[in-house]
Structure 1
Amino acid sequence: MDPVFPRLTHIALHVEDMDACVAFYQYYCDMEICHARNNGQQRIVWLAESGREKDFIFVLMDGGRNLALPDDDYRHFGFAVPSREAVDDLAERANARGELVWPPREEPFPVGYYCGLQDPNGNYVEFSYGQPLGPGAG
């Protein structure tokens, strides 16, 4: 019998403002609601990139508290984009809305060109080009 290896399928987050978080990931990441339900008093929403609903999802659950991450804390969710211009566009949009935390910057391979945003719950979200993962893989 071959060994069975686990595969990462989702990340689950408790959030304080469900509607704001769903809107953030729809606006910046083009994620779609692929499942929503109430479990008693708790609201649960699954978000996925189009075509990846059976591959990887964000599970958002209400009842959480907003995070207060320090500026030098680099824990984040990482999304790849297809160009440097896409990084710049996301940074401009986020800056206009007060959600930019790391302006676009270039770092040696494998990091590439990236910027960072903060979602309504306080999580950092990176958008990168030129990493060896996803669109724009270098």
Structure 2
Amino acid sequence: MRPNLTHIARHVCHFDDCLVFYKRYCQLEIIHQRKNHKHRVAWLAEHGRESELVFVLISGGPNHDHDSRDFSHFGFALDSVEAVDRIAHLARKHETLLWEPQQKAFPVGYFCGIEDPDGVCVEFSFGQPLGPGAEQITYDLEIAPL
């Protein structure tokens, strides 16, 4: 059997704010919550993908100050350029926009980046060969030698 990615767990400093953020921007839904004597835990997932990939938030973690040289991020695909622009507009309003919307060469596409309450970057994109609309993209994805 080959390994199957089932979840990504994050130990977060701002638990409640992160819950609001990932529900607001990423439209993730809480599918499980619990609290023990030390931590609160929430499982979040995209509607319809609850048994495929879960995003786990665990309270009591350290804050991550975002470094502008760090391009680590979680990526979410959207169904249009306009949807990316809407997310960027909302992030500007909440002063969390890290990367203005921009178009890059394939396979990057059109994207913006915003900062979650713990300083982690979340990218929203359109035109990548992943997620909504990927089946409509015709491409020849070559693997370049490193």
TM-score (norm 2): 0.90
Give the 5 Å matches for 1:43-82.
Answer: 43-82=40-79
- CA-to-aligned-CA distance 1:85-118 (integer Å, 9 cap, x gap): 0000000000010010000011100000000000
Which structure has the highest strand share of the two?
1
RMSD over aligned Cα atoms: 0.8
* Aligned residue pair count: 135
What is aligned with 1:130?
Answer: 127
Give, in whole Å, the separation in 1 of the partners of 2:120 and 2:6. 19
1:20 aligns with 2:13: no
**Consecutive unaligned residues in structure 2, runs of 5 or more:** 138-146
1:5-56 CA distances to partner (integer Å, 9 max, x unpaired)? 0011110000111110000000001111000011322110001111111000
CA distance in 2: counterparts of 1:127 and 1:44, whole angstroms:
25
Choose 32-41 or 14-23, whichever is displaced more: 32-41
Partners in 2 of 1:136 and 1:83 — Cα distance? 8
Aligned to 2:116: 119
Matches within 5 A, 1:2-21: 4-21=1-18
Give ranges in structure 1 of 5+ residues lacking alignment: none
1:75 maps to a residue whose letter is S
C-alpha deviation, 1:62, in angstroms: 0.4
Q: What is the distance in 1 between the residues matched to 2:7 and 2:36?
A: 18
Q: Percent identity?
A: 53
